[in-house]
Amino acid sequence: MQQEELAHLLDDLLLGEVRFFCELPSTNTSALEWLSKKPMEYSLLVAEQQTAGHGRLQRSWHAAAGASLSFSLIVYPTPIEQAVLPLFSALAALAVAQALDSFQPTKAVQIKWPNDVLLDGRKCSGILCEAAWQADRLAGLVVGIGVNIGKHSLPPASDLLFPATCLQDMLDPPPERWEVLHHILRNFIGLREIFPTPLFLSQWQARLAFLHQAVTISNGDQKTEGIFSGTAPNGDLLLQQKSGRQLAFPLGDVSLRPLDSD
């Protein structure tokens, strides 16, 4: 893949500048640096290979040349969107989930609150949104998305905190990597028109895995059990405890697991 070829493939989406690199430590890190130059909205950075891809808390994200899709999109959230900034990761997750649906998987495409995309209960995509601030003003948002396409995209099982899979094992025929990228970007741009309305939230909620099931919410060593009863309008996870008490957990700070997975 060459930069010009990729830009041509994505031509109809009216993106900003498109940059392609054979190898980068992390597309998010480079996109955050790029933000200081104020690139156009929907400027895109794609890497064939990431050597230091990361998720939250600098946890490592495994990506392999030829097998992984790794990219970061530059977004300038409006004031209304800034009020619900963490929900951008839900927007990205829904864009990925809808893209996978269009390739007609035989297995369910779900979202593990708030933003992990699951195929048949296994994680096939990770999303990390990182904001850049100038004093207390938002300079921009980097939406980083990784998708496991081929078998080599999977890390060793011992590195996984949650079961993982790749599109090659779940979709027949497996879609072409750049077609997946095109679908995700098209969906992201389309969904942004209804973001963050109740319609958007209902589409995201309809995909949530483990809803109405017993789950454990972890924040570091602190674990809380209950029934995942729904989400608040700001995306918070609502947990119903045996005592009848309802707790709200904010996006970004905690991890969700089904109760019987520990």
Residues of the shown chain interacting with ligand ATP in the complex, contacts defined by CB under 6 A: 55-57, 59, 61-62, 116, 123, 126, 128, 148, 153-155, 159-162, 164, 255
Residues 159-198: x/- map of binding to ligand BTN (CB under 6 A)?
Answer: ----------------------------------------
Residue nearest to ligand ATP (CB): 55
Exactly one of 140, 144, 226, 235 binds ligand BTN (CB under 6 A); that residue is 144
204, amino acid identity: W
For residue 184 the two structure tokens come to 């995700």
Q: Single out the segment in contact with ligand BTN by CB under 6 A; choices: 120-128, 181-189, 233-241, 251-259.
A: 120-128
Interaction of residue 30 with ligand BTN, rule CB under 6 A: no
Interaction of residue 54 with ligand BTN, rule CB under 6 A: yes
Exactly one of 10, 19, 70, 207 binds ligand BTN (CB under 6 A); that residue is 70
CB of 172 vs ligand BTN, minimal distance in Å: 25
CB of 29 vs ligand BTN, minimal distance in Å: 7
CB of 64 vs ligand BTN, minimal distance in Å: 12
Neighbouring CB atoms inside 10 A of 212's CB total 11
Quick one: 31 or 227, whose CB is closer to ligand BTN?
31
Read off φ and ψ for residue 61, nearest 5 degrees.
Answer: -110, 120
Which residue is associated with the tokens 């839900």?
A: 90
Find out whether 111 and 209 touch, Cβ atoms under 8 Å.
yes
Q: Which does 70 bind (CB under 5 to 8 A by kind): ligand BTN, ligand ATP, none?
A: ligand BTN
Quick one: 55 or 250, whose CB is closer to ligand ATP?
55
